Amino acid sequence: MKPETVAARGARQLPSVSRPLTPPIFQTSVFVFEDLDTAEAVWDGERPGFVYGRFGTPNHAMLETMLAALEGGEAALVCASGMAAITALCCGLLEPGDHLIAARDLYGSTAALLAEEARRLGIETTFVDATRVTEVLAARRPATRAVFVEALSNPLLRLADLEGLAGLAREGIHLIVDGSLATPVVLAPLARGATLVVHSVTKFLSGHGDVTAGVVVGPRPVIERARASVIRIGATLGPFDAWLGARGLRTLHVRLERQSDTALRIARWLESHAAVAHVHYPGLDSHPQRALAKTLFPRYTGALLSFDLHGGRRAVETMMERLRLIEFAPSFGDTATTWSYPARTSHRGVPEPERRALGIGDGLVRLSVGLEAAEDLIDDLAGALYQ
């Protein structure tokens, strides 16, 4: 072959009797076939294989297999972000004229998606206090197709009574749980009566702050309808992010165990500090749903907590100036401990009266606990809180 042909086509595959311990990254946008019959069979799903990047690669399949197994679901679909996963689920599950019941204190972008974009598609959403089973059930209509709650709400760590809502499935109503704050280490929603689980893989599941991805896990028919929507709208995850997500997932349990233990130590310390008005963490006896937390979370209560500072925004700004180790970042789930200010990040688009009614005041701080020594984190907070 001439040099230009060698450069364009040479050394694509090398013979080997060994295989890599770590799965490789399939950084390709398309796959080749040896004959048309095989291409047809793979395209139609009659034989295993891959066709085109937007349809998925082996890295997508690996991550989906792991996540479905961890959640105990039939199938999983990974997407370009957590919001893409929720969008895909809406497209695969809901039709114009359907009604959705959602928690009033959902993550801000999720609430906006359901209130605005879903409405444009002919889907109506009623927002309720998801901590009250009676209020959720009272909002049902003949057109109600699903209920959407969070395992732990962001940022106030409120709990939905999943077992109290489990009976919805008998009425043909799907119970969708966003498990991003909890992860399967803390809570397995499908085992508690949910029919579908969504996650921002960006957060604790990948765990290293270098991935943007989402997943939905549940019954195969719903997942495959959602997959068809993802392929059409192009919300496919890149193979490298899928590879990174699987890499991070392998250490999920050891990370969350350590982070949960540290979060509980910090929450107890904050609760005794004079600058702190209130601590929101389901592992504390002071949490208003502590009895439910013990039922839902028998081992760990998560790596996220929030606390209200006396002095409001001024106290928050003082804390920000004094912190030396813990950094401000409008996300969570990293190996490094970070903090954020919900009033101006996750809920900045919520009108102030509504935000305050939700319990998100000017002194509320959210802390995502990482893998550092608990003593170092407490020392940093001790030097930063307003005295």
Active-site residue, selected from the candidate residues 54, 247, 258, 313:
54
- Give the CB-side neighbour count of residue 339, counting CA atoms within 13 A: 24
How many whole angstroms separate alpha carbon 377 and alpha carbon 382?
9
Distance CA 279, CA 269 (A): 10
Contact 228, 196 (CB under 8 A): no
Q: Which helix (H) or strand (E) holds 305?
A: strand 304-309
CA distances from 269 to 283, 288, 381 (A): 13, 18, 10
Closest listed residue to residue 125, CA positions, set 218, 219, 133, 136: 136
* Neighbouring-strand partners of residue 197: 177, 217
Let me know if 294 is a catalytic residue: no
Catalytic residue among 105, 161, 178, 241: 178
Mark whether 203 is an active-site residue: yes
Token couple for 224: 């495959």
Which of 158, 192, 203, 355 does the annotation list as catalytic? 203
Peptide bond between residue 342 and the one before it cis (omega within 30 degrees of 0): no
Active site residue 107: yes
Collect all residues with Cβ–Cβ distance below 8 Å to 230 and sequence separation of at least 6: 77, 79, 84, 88, 236
Tell me, what amino acid is at 79? C
Contact 204, 303 (CB under 8 A): yes
In order, the DSSP letters of 252-267 are HHHHHHHHHHHHHHHH
Question: Is residue 325 within a helix (H) or strand (E), and if so which, with residue range?
Answer: none
Q: What are phi and psi of 30, to 5 degrees?
A: -155, 155
CA neighbor of 57 nearest in space, from 187, 204, 245, 191: 245
List active site positions.
Answer: 54, 107, 178, 203
